[in-house]
Structure formats: structure tokens, C-alpha cells
Amino acid sequence: MHEQLARRQFLTGFGATAFAALAGENPAAAPHFKPTAKSVIYLHMSGGPSQLDLFDPKPQLKKHQGQDLPGSIRMGQRITGMTSGQSTLPVASSLFSFAKQGQSGMEMSEIIPWHHKIADEICLVRSVHTEAINHDPAITFIQTGFQQPGRPSIGSWVSYGLGSENKNLPGFVVMISQKSAINTDQPLFSRLWSAGFLPSSYQGVKFRAGSDPVLYLNDPDGMDTEVRRGILDLNTKLNQMRAGVVGDPEIETRIAQYEMAFKMQTSVPELMDLSKENEATFAMYGPEAKKPGSFAQQCLLARRLVERGVRFVQLYNRGWDQHNDLPRDIQLQARATDQASAALVIDLKQRGLLKDTLVVWGGEFGRTVYCQGRLTETNYGRDHHPRCFSMWMAGGGIKPGTVIGETDDYSYNIVKDAVHVHDIQATLLHCLGVDHTKLTYKFQGRHFRLTDVHGSVVKAALA
């Protein structure tokens, strides 16, 4: 009876969410070859940023403004149901100007001025393409390598393959910032950072804004650390007894997760305490850097996490699905993310961390050159476009000041150096010292991997 009561108190106090931390180490976890990066910060712009208005300049489109997209460009390729009923697909050139930046001469939009400062630090890939045309399968694909739910996320694969360098923090941390635009957000589901069929210890831990970043981590009222430690030890004995009877590896995972949760009671508050960050750092990340839950503060926290040895940090920024009012909304999104994204790269470099940290920026697909809805001189919307979009990478063995790939005059098709989503995933793993063809897990009789049976390392992106 006493043991049952102790177990009940323990479970009530911590809760399931706090246990989603890196618990046990994979005995086989080790790089296949010398890595150029120790950790990853993945900045996912949820909704699909418009490459035409940010990174892929097409000034000649002004000559075709309002004209129907030529059949020779579309080539009968599928489009979404949101524009398939339009009588025309009128070309919408970007309202924003582009200019060459840095010694590399990388062309970027005027609405991301802070990115101009890191033009010589990033590798811009203008020729990424994916297979899904709608949000849920597309974001599932770029995060798990498969369009259907159920596979492990990329952060889980990394945690499984390499383990963690910090025994007091999760190996995989997730943070979400809300939209800056006015239109409705695309939802984000926790399965995007799930471990899938991998042991549950490798799933991502979601950090929230505010004083309680991980749910149920704090002790219940009236319980001190000594009591908690005693309950934890007793609960471990009970779980070990049960594991000896049924042999379920998830019980061992649960034991280790409880231990991690106990350690996080100290490590998480220290991580979230920004009082020792100087004002120059806050100024670098922007006016929202002190605002809990903002993208700016999360970028700052991402730097603190990799400083402490966290292997994979995933930031999701919502609000990039701009079917209507794109000129207004993309400027709002850029204003909320541009400075912090660039500051993260600059800050990492100043601290000597960029050489060991791979930073990735991008969405799940791009946007169409043709307008969705009514086209005017000052307004347009863009539909989903999986055929080509832009992403960038920096640090961790990536060749700086480089542009890879070209699209046609309409940014509709790739004409040079196509890079598939699986290629991005393979390259990310390569920087971490992992051969994507060898990081596998046997499930239901088959050896699965992040890149399925595809993917090649983008060698032109490597330093």
C-alpha cells in the first residue's frame, strides 16, 4: 500500500510531459566519421515562406505582370484546389526590391535587412523541392522524411544516433512562436517532434513560455527535494521489479526519464534565467528578446541550449501561409524573425560556437509565382508551391557565402542543381558525422531510416 501511494504521488507530481526527455543512451550511439557539427538549431518557418519575395529575385517578371502563367512553364503540373478553379493564373511579380549583399554578392530582399549582414556566413539553396503540395503532409515530410504520420522526427533520429552531451537537459528541445501576421495559422501537432517507433525517450521536449516551461516539472506543494528523491528511488525499485518480470524496454526508458525529470528541476530554471545576459546581447536579438514566447527570445534560448550541450533544437515560427495579403503579412513575419535569425548566427560566431553548430532555416515548401485571388498593383496572394523553394544553412561545416541551385524565370521549376528534401536531411546528418544510409532502426521487420531509400549529401554545400 505504501509503495502504491508513493508511486501515485510521484506520477501526479511530474506528469507525462516532463518525462519526454532524453533518458537512456543508445548503446550504439556514435558518429560514423568525424563530424563538423555537434548540434543543430533548426528554424522552421511554418506555412511556406515565399522564395520570390525573400531569396529568389525575378525582376524580369515585371514585364509579365498580370499575364497568365505560360503552359510551357506549368507543364500540366498539379496545383491546389484553392486556385484550380481560377479562370486565369496571373503572374504576380514581387513588390520588393533585391540587392547584392556581402562579398559573396548574394541577392536578398529589402524586407530582410538583417539577413544582409550574414550573406557571407550562409549557404543559400534556391533549388529545394518536395513531394507534398499541402501543409500537413509537407511539414510531416520535411520533419520526418515521410508524408504520413508515425515516423520519428529528424530531432529524434539525431538524438537516437548521437545521444546527448548534457545529462541534465533533454537531447531534443522544441519551442513554438506564434504568428505575426493577421491570417489564421496552420496547426502544429506534437507528432512532428515525436519519436515515432523509436524508444519514447528520444522524442522532443516542448518548452513553453513563462515561468513553467515544462509542464508538471515542479514539485507539488508541501514536497521538498529530499522527499522527492526518496519517492523517485522507491519508484525506480518498483519499475525495476516489473521490468524483471515482463522485460519491456519501455520500463527502463521510463526509469531514465524520471531521473531526467528530476535533474531538469534544477537545469531548466537555470537555462531560462536570462538575467546574466548583457544588454548588448538583447539588443542584438531585437526588441522582443526579453518577451517570453517570442521568436527572438527563443533564438537566444537556442544559443543557450547548444552552449549546454543540447544536441537538437527545433524552433517553429507560425504564420507564413500567405494566400492573401502577402505584401502586408510577409513584412510582419520578416519583422518578427529577420533580426533574431541573423543575430543567432552572429552570436554563435562571436562565441566560437558557429563552427560546431549547424543552423538551418526554411519552410515546408515555397509559393507560386501566380496570384491566388485578386491581383492588384499593391496586393497579391500566393498558393503552395512544392516544385522549388529556398532554404539556408550556416556553420557546422557548411560552405559560407554560397548559392546553390537555380530556378527558371518564373521561379516555378528548377533548372540547375536540384536539392530534394531528403538531400537536405542527408546533409544535416552528414555534418553531424552520420551516414544517413547507416542510421537505421528495425521496426515491423524492416530497417527504416530518416531518408527512406533516397537522399544524397549536397557536397557543394560543404566547406
Give a three-class secondary structure readout of the chain. CHHHHHHHHHHHHHCCHHHCCCCCCCCCCCCCCCCCCCEEEEEEEECCCCHHHHCCCCHHHHHHCCCECCHHHHCCCCCCCCCCCCCCCEECCCCCCEEEECCCCEEEECCCHHHHCCCCCEEEEEEEECCCCCHHHHHHHHHHCCCCCCCCCHHHHHHHHHCCCCCCCCCEEEEEECCCCCCCCCCCCHHHHCCCCCCHHHCCEECCCCCCCCCCCCCCCCCCHHHHHHHHHHHHHHHHHHHHHHCCHHHHHHHHHHHHHHHHHHHHHHHHCCCCCCHHHHHHHCCCCCCCCCHHHHHHHHHHHHHCCCCEEEEEEECCCCCCCHHHHHHHHHHHHHHHHHHHHHHHHHCCCHHHEEEEEECCCEEEEEECCCCCCCCCCEEEECCCEEEEEECCCECCCEEECEECCCCCCEEECCEEHHHHHHHHHHHCCCCCCCCEEEECCEEEECCCCCCCCCHHHEC
pLDDT given for residue 260 in this prediction: 65
Residues contacting residue 105 through CB under 8 Å, at least 6 positions apart: none
Distance CA 61, CA 66 (A): 10
pLDDT given for residue 204 in this prediction: 95
Question: Residue 9: what are its φ and ψ, rounded to 5°?
Answer: -65, -40
Whether the CB-CB separation of 260 and 22 falls below 8 Å is answered with yes
Model confidence pLDDT, tens digit, residues 272-327 = 899 999 999 999 999 999 999 999 999 999 999 999 999 999 999 999 999 999 99
Q: Are strands 122-129 and 440-443 parallel, antiparallel or unpaired?
A: unpaired
Q: Are strands 205-206 and 172-177 parallel, antiparallel or unpaired?
A: parallel
277: in domain: no
Distance CA 2, CA 14 (A): 19
Question: Residue 179: what are its φ and ψ, rounded to 5°?
Answer: -65, 160
Distance CA 215, CA 190 (A): 14
**Residue from 374, 294, 343 nearest 86 by CA:** 374
400: in domain: yes
382 residue type, one letter: R
The CATH code of the domain that includes 417 is 3.40.720
Distance CA 138, CA 145 (A): 10
93: in domain: yes
53: in domain: yes
Whether the CB-CB separation of 421 and 389 falls below 8 Å is answered with no
pLDDT given for residue 214 in this prediction: 74
Q: Are strands 402-404 and 106-109 parallel, antiparallel or unpaired?
A: unpaired
Residues contacting residue 204 through CB under 8 Å, at least 6 positions apart: 20, 153, 155, 156, 170, 172, 173, 174, 193, 194, 312, 314
231: in domain: no
Domain count for the chain: 1
pLDDT given for residue 163 in this prediction: 87
Cell numbers given for 247: 522485460
Cβ-based neighbour number of residue 95 at 10 Å? 17
Distance CA 82, CA 97 (A): 28
What is the C-alpha radius of gyration for the chain, rounded to an integer number of angstroms? Answer: 23
Whether the CB-CB separation of 167 and 427 falls below 8 Å is answered with no
59: in domain: yes
Instruction: Let me know how long the chain is.
Output: 463
12: in domain: no
| Range(s) of the domain holding residue 120 | 26-216+289-461
The residues that bridge with 100 in the sheet, in sequence order, are: 107
Spans of the chain, pLDDT less than 50: 1-24
Distance CA 142, CA 424 (A): 9
Residues contacting residue 438 through CB under 8 Å, at least 6 positions apart: 32
Cell numbers given for 415: 533548372
222: in domain: no
**Residue from 288, 380, 404 nearest 338 by CA:** 288
User: What's the burial of 230, exposed, middle or buried (CB within 10 Å: 0-12/13-18/19+)?
Assistant: exposed
Cβ-based neighbour number of residue 334 at 10 Å? 24
Distance CA 123, CA 120 (A): 8
pLDDT given for residue 23 in this prediction: 40
68 residue type, one letter: D
Distance CA 65, CA 60 (A): 9
